[in-house]
Structure 1
Amino acid sequence: MTDLHKEFENSRFYHEARIDRRSADLLIGLSAGVVADGHITQQEAEFLENWISTNVAHLDDPVINLLYRRLSDMLADGVLDADESVELLAILRSFAGLSAARPGATGNAFTAPANLPLCVPAPELEWDGRLFVFTGVMAYGPRKACEALVTERGGQIGPGVSKKIHYLVIGTVGNEQWLHSTYGTKIKKAVELREAGAEISIISEDHWQRALFG
């Protein structure tokens, strides 16, 4: 929401910063409403992209920018396909601080994952013939783009977490309550396999990016 005519700039209650904050809060509410039925339609994605562009894109907030960029990339070809819809659902749930188990606002929207069961020390990554699985929302970009970086280096993408997987990469953007989050089931399964002796490494997106780009 922008005070186009400067009507509120001298008001103690409706100054620009307060208007911007309310707009950002409203975006969280809109996101929660859109994901309520567990599915994102083309029309809903287009509505959110337009609403962000009109109301909050000027805030230069890194989290909002990330959401806006992902929406723009997904809709660039004019079609929100099934994979993009699933990824956008996860992004919006995280942004709104929601989980699949308990769809209510938590106030932890888009915080970096904490207390994750990452391998310590983090392993040196190998690519050729290695199986990777991604979970959570990747700060680098869409899941397909991340997977492409792996396959370009000779790696492979696994269909899910199993004892055959070599690396589970956890996206930087996620809810810190990972055990109860929509992507926490993959992490939990990987931990169980690792404790049972499987050679699966749980790594952060930061470590994965350093291995790629130095």
Structure 2
Amino acid sequence: MVDLHQEFERSRFFHQGRIDRRSADALVGITAGLTADGKINQLEAEFLKNWIETHLIHLEDPVVNILYHRLANMLSDGVLDENESVELLEILHQFSGIPVGGPQRVSTVSSLPLNDPAPELDWLAKVFLFTGVMAFGPRKDCEALVIERGGVIGNSVSKKVHFLVVGSIGNEQWLHSAYGAKIKKAVELRDSGVPIAIISETHWQQVLFG
């Protein structure tokens, strides 16, 4: 299991006195602007990738690198498909700290409504859904691991979903939105008695890799 939490905590990108603070702040502003209309297209994704290459790639910062490599991976075949566009929009909303639907009170990772204690994970025929930015890698890679073990990937939060996995990347500047639409819906279902569990990526990885 790759645990990047401490690396993110030490990241220069999160320190007030870091080098190129203005460029890093500009990146937050750019991502907020690109996502303001609630969608991200290929030209916008290519612009953002090129901007990072020009202004920030030399920082060798973990968070900047994750954003850049996710962009590069999505654009590697020359096409930003619909699923990649949706995932990128979510990543950029979290990066800018502005959740879908506009500004609202944000919540830190520690206050996410995860199941406590974390449940045991069954795979066979169980429905998983991912939300947020996964430290493990692109969402399609995380989904593939579930499918390999006999699990199923859900399309949206519903009574059919057994586990909602919340990506672990987030801190003071890379913010999880205020629970997010998926998490809010999952909490409502859980509170009504539906057996849906909200779990962290850390728990998901621990079960996968020990």
TM-score by length of 2: 0.83
Question: Which protein has greater RCO, CA pairs closer than 8 Å, 6+ apart?
Answer: 2
Q: Indicate the SS of the match to 2:111.
A: coil
Q: Is the 8 A contact 1:112 1:173 kept in 2?
A: no
What is the CA deviation profile of residues 162-203 of structure 1, one whole-angstrom value per residue up to 9, with x for unaligned ones?
Answer: 222111111113534523xxxx22212212222222211110
Quick one: percent identity of the two aligned structures? Answer: 61
After superposition, the C-alpha distances for 1:124-160 in whole angstroms (9 at most, x for unaligned) are 1111111111112222222211111100110001122
Q: Which residue of 2 aligns with 1:51?
A: 51
Residue type of the alignment partner of 1:162:
S
C-alpha separation in 2, matches of 1:200 and 1:70 = 29
Instruction: For 2:25, give the aligned amino acid.
Output: D
Structure 1 length as normaliser, TM-score? Answer: 0.81
Q: For each residue in 1:25-62, what CA deviation from the matched residue of structure 2 results, as whole angstroms up to 9, or x when unmatched?
A: 11111111111222212111111111111210111221
Alignment of 1:55-66 (within 5 A): 55-66=55-66
Amino acid in structure 2 at the alignment position of 1:145 = D
SS at match of 2:129: strand
5 Å-filtered alignment, 1:169-184, equals: 169-174=165-170, 175-179=175-179, 184=180
CA contact (8 A) 2:132 2:176 kept: no
* Aligned position for 1:197: 193
**1:54 and 1:80, CA in 2 relative to 1: closer, same or farther beyond 3 A?**
same
Structure 1 moving runs of 4+ over 4 Å: none
- Map 1:1-214 → 2, pairs under 5 A: 20-103=20-103, 113-174=109-170, 175-179=175-179, 184-214=180-210
Cα offsets for 1:63-109 (capped at 9, x unmatched)? 111100100110111111111111111111111111223248x8x7x
Given that 1:161 and 1:190 are in contact with CA atoms closer than 8 Å, whether structure 2 keeps it comes out as yes
Q: Hey, what's the Cα distance between the residues in 2 that align with 1:31 and 1:186?
A: 21
Separation of aligned partners in 2, 1:146 and 1:155 = 11
Gaps of 5+ in 1: 1-16
- Contact 2:97–2:176 (8 Å) recurs in 1: no
Q: Which amino acid aligns with 1:77?
A: D
Change (3 A) 1:18 1:213: closer
Q: Check whether the contact 1:113–1:178 (CA below 8 A) recurs between aligned residues.
A: no
Q: Secondary structure at the match of 2:164?
A: strand
**Which has the larger displacement, 42-51 or 146-155?**
42-51
Amino acid at match of 1:164: K
CA separation in 2, counterparts of 1:202 and 1:177? 15
Give the Cα separation in 2 of the matches to 1:166 and 1:146: 16
